[in-house]
Amino acid sequence: MEWISDFSHDSLKLDCLLNTFPGNLEVQQVLGDIDEKIKKNTSCVDQCLKELQLELNETCSDKLMQDTTSFLHWLNNHDFSSTKFSSTHQGELIKFLQTLQRLLKNEQNQEETILQFLLELSSQCGVLFPCTSSGASFEFVSSSSVHGIEDNTAVDVHCIWDDIRLHLRRYLVHQLQSNQETKTGTLQHQLQFKTQCLQHLLFLYPESEVLIKYQKMQNKLVSDLLQKCAQDKGDEMNFEKIVHNYKSSIPAFCAVIKEDLYILSGIIDYSSVLKFINETYLDTFTEEITFVLHMLCELQLKEKALHAIKTSKNSKKNRS
């Protein structure tokens, strides 16, 4: 009769397992919640499609969509690579850029306002501003950009836009340098401010050019920090004191590296960040240390030579 007891035991386990499953009410509640979420998502998608359809009908009067089905069919089959945006009239473009140029030259403290205005034009209105290297000629290949005009005005547009960018770049670089010297506000505020300045520079100039400019600034910062360590308050350079000064400067040196890691990792790719840190900080540190050690070696050699000369003179005097 052992199998009867085993069967009863297994049945008990099965009953316990079945009791753990939710009942009909719980299942209906879960299904109802899922159904409600699906309805909300459907309603949200429908609303987005209606807004897109309305915007398309307003911008492209030759492609009026009467219902959502026809709009979805057009959206699915449309070749967006062939889309042509409205071109900018050459006279209006020159006038617009000249107005910005006059504001920057004649009005004080307008740089931040103009920067925000340009950023909003780009992000909200889809205006594409040239981001070429300094002094590079523009390539007029698309009517979708702010420089999509006739070639005979290319030089004028290039000169005015380059002048505007240069003015804004000087302003942003000055802001970065001032923030580095004064260090007002919390650390988080300082990091956000530097990040914003670099993002604005990247809006105006190519990434490679911005990084080169910023690298020069940070190179000077590192060089000044390390040279202070090498300049002893006494009259003579002492190896032990210099080593002590370098050791005491390590926390500040690491803090600067950490700041740039945080800032740059949010705006450029990781490989570029590592390259920047290596060239700006580690290479500069190595060069400065090598230079200081070379100077110390030269001083030691001079001191030994002077000591040898003095010893030789004293021995000659003693002989005479």
Domain for residue 6, yes or no?
Answer: no
191 with 213, same domain? no
230 with 271, same domain? yes
214 with 300, same domain? yes
Strand, coil or helix: 86:
coil
Q: Given this model, what pLDDT does residue 211 score? A: 94
Indicate if the pLDDT at residue 28 is higher than 50: yes
128 with 218, same domain? no
Give the C-alpha distances (Å, rounded to integers) separating 216 from 96, 179, 250: 33, 16, 20
Q: Given this model, what pLDDT does residue 148 score? A: 45
Percent of the chain with pLDDT over 70: 72
215 with 309, same domain? yes
For residues 103 and 114, the answer to whether their CB atoms sit within 8 Å is: yes
Domain for residue 213, yes or no?
Answer: yes
> Residue 105 — left, alpha, or beta (φ > 0 → left; ψ -120 to 50 → alpha)?
alpha
161 with 244, same domain? no
Backbone dihedral angles phi then psi of residue 128, each to the nearest 5 degrees: -100, 115
Other CB atoms within 10 A of residue 185 CB:
12
Domain for residue 142, yes or no?
Answer: no
**pLDDT, average across residues 50-69:** 70
Please choose, from the candidates 112, 111, 147, 115, the residue with its C-alpha nearest in 3D space to the C-alpha of residue 131. 147
Q: Give me the domain span that covers residue 45.
A: 21-72
Q: Given this model, what pLDDT does residue 51 score? A: 79
217 with 192, same domain? no
Domain for residue 80, yes or no?
Answer: no
pTM above 0.75, yes or no: no
Domain for residue 284, yes or no?
Answer: yes
120 with 195, same domain? yes
190 with 278, same domain? no
Give the C-alpha distances (Å, rounded to integers) separating 22 from 6, 13, 25, 255: 27, 17, 8, 56
Please choose, from the candidates 196, 162, 202, 206, the residue with its C-alpha nearest in 3D space to the C-alpha of residue 176. 196
Indicate if the pLDDT at residue 147 is higher than 60: no
Tokens matching residue 112? 């931040």
Q: Given this model, what pLDDT does residue 311 score? A: 72
Domain for residue 9, yes or no?
Answer: no
**pLDDT, average across residues 121-138:** 71
Please choose, from the candidates 187, 208, 191, 218, the residue with its C-alpha nearest in 3D space to the C-alpha of residue 280. 218
For the ranges 34-48, 170-184, 222-236, which has the lowest average pLDDT?
A: 222-236
For the ranges 159-173, 223-237, 269-283, which has the lowest average pLDDT?
A: 223-237
The span from the CA of 111 to the CA of 119, in Å, is 12
The span from the CA of 70 to the CA of 56, in Å, is 12
Indicate if the pLDDT at residue 123 is higher than 90: no
Domain for residue 49, yes or no?
Answer: yes
158 with 60, same domain? no
Indicate if the pLDDT at residue 240 is higher than 60: yes
286 with 261, same domain? yes
Of 168, 185, 201, the domain-final residue: 201
Report residue 52's pLDDT band, with 50, 70 and 90 as the boundaries. confident
**pLDDT, average across residues 146-159:** 60
For the ranges 30-34, 149-153, 204-208, which has the lowest average pLDDT?
A: 149-153
> How many domains does one find in the chain?
3
Domain for residue 160, yes or no?
Answer: yes
Report residue 192's pLDDT band, with 50, 70 and 90 as the boundaries. very high
Please choose, from the candidates 190, 173, 95, the residue with its C-alpha nearest in 3D space to the C-alpha of residue 134. 173
251 with 299, same domain? yes
Residue that is written with structure tokens 């988080």 in the block: 188
Report residue 80's pLDDT band, with 50, 70 and 90 as the boundaries. low
